[in-house]
Each structure stands twice: as structure tokens, then as C-alpha cells.
Copies of this chain bind each other. A is one copy, B any other.
């Protein structure tokens, strides 16, 4: 059943029925009720395609899915998506996943913006120099960012306090007596990796420790990369007594390296990992249970979706700039630094 038929059924015009359904004021309450009841009774649902064509608005929200990047390192993505989905479902918004490779990512964004298949896009993991942000800004296409944009002015975003988290975690390790610490970070072109790096560096500086005691590696945060890196670090002459890990997956790799080398965690080696709360990999299900800096990626997903919808509803960009605190949760993977041998 379409609008025309419904209108005929009610002996009303399409205009009135449409307005009644969409809550416009220029229709009396009586008729609105009648219309609403009839729509319900006949199971009328407006055609999204027609509405889209008529209004120019898609009632959809775009998420660019970088197949290579996400598949490689992001079981997180599901959690994030679940958060986004939860909110957008409530508002009746569709979620369009646009796949892309790193190479054609820009083109994908351009297409999304021009085609009008979505009203707003959500952009994740911003880079130090981010062509996607430049492009969307230039096209004046609505977008919101999950993570800290390189130029936050005029951009709505939500981020977790990566700086604070790693500063706190590093300070904690230093207090425990650790001096040689290895940070296994994400790739350095991500803003979050920079923030974490700064956090750790500041903690060292604050403790009056030389910065070369902090060994830092930037890489895609997979278990395997982490394993290789940790293995190499642990077999070197001056091996670290503690690791800071960018994710739970990284911690997994480090744990394996430690196990293979017969090192006990936390006796010989302390580990702190950042935990985005993947339900599939709870930090407290590891052995030993992991000390973490914790923040919910899912909650971030819901928040960023809310922001996106607000943006569609007309909110100005740059209105929101949330930075969420990150909590240090001490569990069994950290202990006082071993005596120097």
C-alpha cells in the first residue's frame, strides 16, 4: 500500500496524509489520529526510495570499512559497529558499509559524499595528515570523527584520553621500579599512536628518567607483530622489564614471547595493555589476568553515532569534542620490577 492508496482510502489528499504522518502542525489532531490509525491498520510504510528522492536525504549513515586495515587488526570493529548500530536503529537510520582499500579510500569517500546515499559519514582512526578529513571538509559534507583529528577546530569528534592513559600506565610501571620499558604502539601515522607515545614520554620525563630507557615500536597491532617485536626485545642484552601494549592482541603476542623464553609474567616481566573491551577477549580471561587501561569501544560507537545523527539534524560541526577518561585497572600482569641481575 502506498500513500496514494492510503489517501484515497481515507478520502483525504496525499498532502494531508503525508503531513499527518510526519508530524507537521498544519493538520488537525483529529485527522492526524485517524490517519495514524489507518496507516497502522493497513500496515502502510513509506517507500524509503521515494522519500529519499523527494527530500534528498538518505536516512542513512555511512561507515567506511577499510577491508585491509580492519580485517587485519580490528575485531574491535564489530564492537564499534554494534555501538553505532544500536543508536542508528533507534532513529530508523540505515548503516551503509562502504568497503575500500587504503588506495581507493579517498575515492570511496568522494563517492559517498556526492551520491547522496548517506547523509553523514563516520570516520575512524584519523591520521596525522588525513586526506579524508580534508576532502569531506572541502566538499562540505557532514562527518564526525572517532578519534582525535589532526586539526580539531571545527570538527565534531569523540576520543578517549590516549595521552592520559599511557602517561598513567607508564608512571605506574615506573613507580613499580621498572626502568626499561618497551611500548608496542600502533602505526605512527595515527593520531592515537602519537598521543600514546607522548603520554609515555611525559611520564618518563616527569620521573626524571632518560628517554632512551623507553623503547618504542610502531606497527600494525597484531599478535604476530607483537610477538616478533617482543621476542627480539627480550632476547637483547638490555631487555625490558615491562611492556606497554597498544591492544589486547598485542598483549597476546607478548605473552607468547615471554612463555617461549621461560619468563614468568608478572615476576620477570610486567605487561599493561590498552583494552577496548572486546567481549570476545576479556582482559581478565588471560593468564595472568591483564592489567589494562580500559575504555569501551562500544560506548564510543554509540556516542559517535549520536553525534552523526545530531549532525544530520543540523548541529554545527565542531560542537562536540568529547575526550573520555581512561581508567587504569590493575590486575595480575604487573608487579614490582625484578632485581637487577
Instruction: Contact check, A77 vs B74: say whether CB atoms are below 8 A apart.
Output: no
Select from chain B the residue with minimum beta-carbon distance to A88: B99
Q: In the bound complex, what is the Cα–Cα distance between A67 and B259 (angstroms)?
A: 35
Kindly identify, within residues 223 to 281 of chain A, every residue whose CB is under 8 Å from any CB belonging to chain B. Answer: 223-224, 227, 249, 252-253, 255-256, 259-260, 278-281
Select which of B85, B117, B255, B260 is within 8 A of A48 by beta carbon: B117
What mask results when residues 110 to 136 of chain A are scored 1 for a CB within 8 Å of chain B, else 0?
A: 010011110000000000000000000
The answer to whether A153 has its CB under 8 Å from any CB of chain B is no
Q: In the bound complex, what is the Cα–Cα distance between A50 and B70 (angstroms)?
A: 32
Instruction: Contact check, A82 vs B67: say whether CB atoms are below 8 A apart.
Output: yes
What mask results when residues 61 to 87 of chain A are scored 1 for a CB within 8 Å of chain B, else 0?
A: 001010100111111011101100110
A96 neighbours in B (Cβ, 8 Å): 60, 94-97
Select from chain B the residue with minimum beta-carbon distance to A53: B49
A81 neighbours in B (Cβ, 8 Å): 65, 97
Select which of B50, B99, B114, B256 is within 8 A of A285 by beta carbon: B256
The answer to whether A11 has its CB under 8 Å from any CB of chain B is no
Q: In the bound complex, what is the Cα–Cα distance between A98 and B92 (angstroms)?
A: 10
Question: For chain A, which range describes its interface: under 10, 10 to 19, 20 to 34, or 35 or more residues?
Answer: 35 or more
Instruction: Contact check, B298 vs A71: say whether CB atoms are below 8 A apart.
Output: yes
Instruction: Contact check, A223 vs B116: say whether CB atoms are below 8 A apart.
Output: no
Select from chain B the residue with minimum beta-carbon distance to A50: B53
Provide 30 A-B residue pairs closer than 8 Å at the C-beta atoms, listed in order of the A residue.
A45-B111, A45-B115, A47-B115, A48-B115, A48-B116, A49-B52, A49-B56, A49-B58, A49-B117, A53-B53, A60-B96, A65-B81, A65-B82, A65-B85, A70-B78, A71-B82, A75-B75, A75-B280, A81-B97, A86-B99, A94-B96, A94-B97, A95-B96, A95-B98, A223-B281, A223-B282, A223-B285, A252-B281, A252-B285, A256-B285
In addition to A89-B98, A224-B285, A249-B280, 14 A-B residue pairs with Cβ atoms within 8 Å of each other are A45-B114, A49-B116, A50-B53, A52-B52, A65-B82, A71-B298, A72-B279, A74-B280, A75-B78, A86-B99, A89-B100, A94-B117, A222-B279, A252-B285
